[in-house]
Amino acid sequence: MSRRKARGSDFNIAAHGLRGIAALMVFWGHLLGGTARHIYDSDPSYARTVEAMWHLGTAGVVLFFVISGFVIWPSVIRYSPGQFALRRFVRLYPLFFVLTLLFLALNLATHSYPHLNDPRTVAAAFTFTNIFVGTEQLTPNAWSLSFEVMFYALTCAAVYYAVHRPSRIGMAVTGAICIGFLLVFPIAAFFLGGIAVRLLHDRGIAPPSLLAPFLELAALACFALYASMSWFAYVPADFANPIALMILSSSLIYFYLAVLPNSLTTLCLRSSQALYIGTISYSLYLVHPYTYYLCRMAFDRLGLFTDHQFASMALFFAITTPVTVAATHFVHKTIEMMPYRWVFGQKIYRAPSSASDGQEAGEQDPDRTTPGAAES
């Protein structure tokens, strides 16, 4: 296999399209959950009505983590630790930095969350160490980036001592740290599962082609069912609940089947619109809390949240979604993409081309991982 073909095969239509689906899940889940908490909070029946879809939406984050594990593996193998770290930093940090500064400015002006103005909290947020010191991230949704960054660092170290510069001592120390991290933060199991799916995928291990579509539908149905049952922080105690284990296993099985050549997911997500949402998914993930909040305030002040909840929410979705996508498109083209072009002189995504197997298309720089920022 030529180097070009190998690079081209790094792009997986299903994985890319599922980024967009995961971002939309989180976005729309926040519309439902936010209105349940802040608009229709006096009506318990509304919360009960939207609860299942709200829970399902939040599961988009762990789907992102699975995608991250799947797509980061070729990148960490291909690049030296320094190159890998630089590409990760330029790819992810500028947008995170700008939106965190925006949150700080707004919070200082409004004092909505005064405890988040503490210097220790701010420093931990900017360095992604908040998960170790027990403070919060600042910009909404960025809590997941802290886990992403630690996953990058540990994966890079493990590959370095196992592949680039083999060292038994280095691998033993790194392995012990990885095990400790997994025990304290078992949500990392979704990342590891994504790596496992990648290894199976690259070795061509797959069920019989006639059986695969039925297994894919069954796994997707299980993931949707279990994810809609409850919300989890995926702390150690949560995994005593069999539902959390079923969410983990069903998400991995579904994703394993989804990234196969000619899967049903691939056939459904190969349109330009689906791939576009996948492309802007990182910006969509971080931008939508701000556009959602502005739209919610506008609706509230204009009296558009009425007792006719279905009609009010349909209108809220119909307006907030295009407003958010438009804002996301602008942020993606400027804050998200420009730094990468300036530093590396190339696009994050190469122009897609046809592929012989009907599954892999185009070339991607192997540099994108985080909710919405995973790149093969």
Going residue by residue through the chain (376 aa), what tens digit of pLDDT does each one get? 333 333 445 799 999 999 999 999 999 999 999 999 999 999 999 999 999 999 999 999 999 999 999 999 999 999 999 999 999 999 999 999 999 999 999 999 998 899 999 999 999 999 999 999 999 999 999 999 999 999 999 999 999 999 999 999 999 999 999 999 999 999 999 999 999 999 999 999 999 999 999 999 999 999 999 999 999 999 999 999 999 999 999 999 999 999 999 999 999 999 999 999 999 999 999 999 999 999 999 999 999 999 999 999 999 999 999 999 999 999 999 999 999 999 988 666 554 443 333 333 333 443 433 444 444 3
* Whole-angstrom distance, CA of residue 200 vs CA of residue 78: 18
Residue 345: the pLDDT is 81
Residue 194: the pLDDT is 98
Strand, coil or helix: what is 322?
Answer: helix
* Whole-angstrom distance, CA of residue 214 vs CA of residue 220: 10
Measure CA of the first residue to CA of the last residue in the chain; give whole Å.
18
Residue 10: the pLDDT is 72
User: Across the chain, which distance is largest between two alpha carbons, in Å?
Assistant: 65
Residues 293-301: contacts with CB under 8 Å, at least 24 apart: 295/319, 295/320, 295/323, 295/324, 296/34, 296/35, 296/38, 296/39, 296/320, 300/39
- The identity of residue 308, as a single letter, is H
Locate 50 and state its tokens: 């939207």
How many Cβ atoms are within 10 Å of 239's Cβ, its own excluded? 16
Nearest alpha carbon to residue 99 among 257, 328, 298, 315: 328
Nearest alpha carbon to residue 90 among 371, 346, 285, 329: 346
Torsion of CA 35, 329, 147, 119, to 10 degrees: -80
* CB distance 171 to 158 below 8 Å: yes
Q: Is 208 left (phi over 0), alpha (psi -120 to 50) or beta?
A: beta
* CB distance 226 to 246 below 8 Å: yes
C-alpha to C-alpha distances, 213 to 208, 267, 355, nearest whole angstrom? 10, 11, 21
Residue 370: the pLDDT is 44
Residue 346: the pLDDT is 66
* Whole-angstrom distance, CA of residue 62 vs CA of residue 253: 13
Element (H, E) at 152: helix 143-159
* Whole-angstrom distance, CA of residue 147 vs CA of residue 69: 12
What pTM was estimated for this model as a whole? 0.90
Residue 363: the pLDDT is 32
Residue 350: the pLDDT is 52
DSSP 352: P
Residues 6+ apart with CB under 8 A from 221: none
